[in-house]
Amino acid sequence: MKKAQSITEFVKEVKRGSISIVEHTEKIIEEAEKSNSQFHHFNLIAKKSALLQAKEIDAGIKTGQHKGKLLGVPISVKDCICVKDFESRAGSKILSGYLPLFDATVIAKAKKEGAIIIGKTAQDEFGFGTFSNNVGVDFEKPLNPLNPKRCCGGSSGGSAGFTSLTSLTHASIGQSTGGSIAAPASFCGVAGLTPTYGLVSRFGLIDYANSLDKIGTIGKTISDAALLLEVISGYDMNDSTSLKAEAQNLGNVKHLNDFRIGVVKEFFKGCEEKVQKECMNAINKLEEEGATVEEISLPLNAKYGIAAYYLASTTEASTNLARFCGMRYGLHDKLEGDFNEYFSKVRSQGFGIEAKRRILLGTFARMSGFRDAYYLKAMKVRTKLIKEFRQAFETVDVLVNPTMPIIAPTFGEIKKLSPLEQYAMDLCTVPANLAGLPHASVKVGEHKGMPVGLMITADHLQENKMVQAAKAVEELK
């Protein structure tokens, strides 16, 4: 990953007048445009709008009108998050041409703090993937900037890829359903933060699975990602699942004494040896610095997490995606046949192969006669899995494990995996997502020249502990 000035330092300089926001924005847009032909991190680069925003802010600073925690900071946004008048497709052909009439709450909050929205980042279609290989029809796969033969991870692949690639100050707003921030952060060697379910408003998010989706952040460092998370968090009356809580002053506590770290043994077992080793090295160093380390066992999550997650998420996805039918927005066709024929025609053209697979799986799991055996069963198992986490947090502050069992695979390696084998790669990330727990991924080492990420999970609304531990890991280097 290329290093850049931190957001805090950048904003300080902007306020002092020593950085021209227009020039900085021009530079990052140029970098994005230039790199996109090779790496495909963006589905849309908003040159005109970003430069207009930059000019307004520059002018405002001179007259003392503009303040804000993200003053002039370029922010990229995962395609599934609505930005007013930006084509927002969630990486899917079925949303071709859709121009939202409003900003998602997170976008409105970021803009209010002076952020400049530079574009929409590439992703697995609707978030359906671990590698950003399941892009929609006619989309390009984002490539890992550290090695373009390898994937960025998914599903927020473009967000993590560009955060790693750019040499300028920048952060990204991503989204996770089952690990879609942590996985690409790990594969691209950047910092990813997924908050407690409900801490960040989902208003304006093109849903994958409502009971699992969280909007979160990706930055070059935990501090950058944490600052952006502080800005976008908070109660929103437009989201009925929004919590009356916000994240503030994240990670301000420095000392590690009395900090209790639980090493999840089952999640380590499923990982490549070198990945395990890099993670254990970091954990040992934290212990040397005063943290208490103990082994924690989460056998039910390790054994049943994947099955419960995929039944829950595909069921919810199949109902969410029912709204895409070529009528009100997105892909249209000539109005022919009856409504079932028309909807089926548009949907069959507009959805990619993995979207179809998950719609079928989810439709099956909630069909009359099968619902109790699959969907309802998964929801009950989920209760057990949440209880298992709750018990673990009685004795530790955070849980740690490798974010991903492997380093970023090549596209050739991915092709050899069956869908079930691909789903199994989410072993370590899915449980925390199913339980709605905040989690971070931070780089701890390398293997074959590619980054290895450590995942840090905290209890509900304990973002402060998550960030504190993640910062401590980052400072080990």
**Within positions 241 to 260, which residues make up the interface with other proteins, using CB under 8 A?**
241-243
Please answer whether residues 257 and 290 qualify as being in contact, where contact means their C-beta atoms are separated by less than 8 angstroms.
yes
435 binds other proteins (CB under 8 A): yes
Site for other proteins in 335-354 (CB under 8 A): 335-345, 347-348, 351, 353
What is the CA angle 38-100-61, rounded to 5?
75
The minimum distance between CB 209 and other proteins, in angstroms, equals 11
Considering only CA atoms, give the Rg of the chain: 21
Of the pair 100, 445, the CB lying nearest other proteins is at: 100
Site for other proteins in 358-397 (CB under 8 A): 359-361, 363-364, 367, 369-370, 372-374, 376-384, 386
Of the pair 293, 379, the CB lying nearest other proteins is at: 379
Between 161 and 200, how does the x/- string for binding to other proteins read (CB under 8 A)?
A: -----------------------------------xxx--
Of the pair 59, 367, the CB lying nearest other proteins is at: 367
92 binds other proteins (CB under 8 A): no
Q: Which of 88, 180, 313, 318 is catalytic?
A: 180
CA 407 to CA 443: how far, in whole Å? 11
CA 103 to CA 312: how far, in whole Å? 28
CA 81 to CA 202: how far, in whole Å? 9
310 binds other proteins (CB under 8 A): yes
CA 78 to CA 329: how far, in whole Å? 19
Of the pair 35, 196, the CB lying nearest other proteins is at: 196
Residues β-bridged to residue 400:
263, 456
330 binds other proteins (CB under 8 A): yes
Annotation marks residue 155 as catalytic: yes
CA distances from residue 458 to 249, 310, 400, 402 in whole angstroms, order as listed: 16, 22, 9, 15
Q: Which of 35, 155, 313, 441 is catalytic?
A: 155
Following DSSP, what letter does each residue of 126-163 receive, concatenated? GG--SSS--PPTTPPPPB-TT-TTBB--SSSHHHHHHH
220 binds other proteins (CB under 8 A): no
Q: Which residue has the tokens 């380390």?
A: 293
**Which tokens in the block code for residue 275?**
């990945």
The minimum distance between CB 454 and other proteins, in angstroms, equals 23
Site for other proteins in 409-428 (CB under 8 A): 418-420, 423
Annotation marks residue 78 as catalytic: yes
- Catalytic center residues: 78, 155, 180
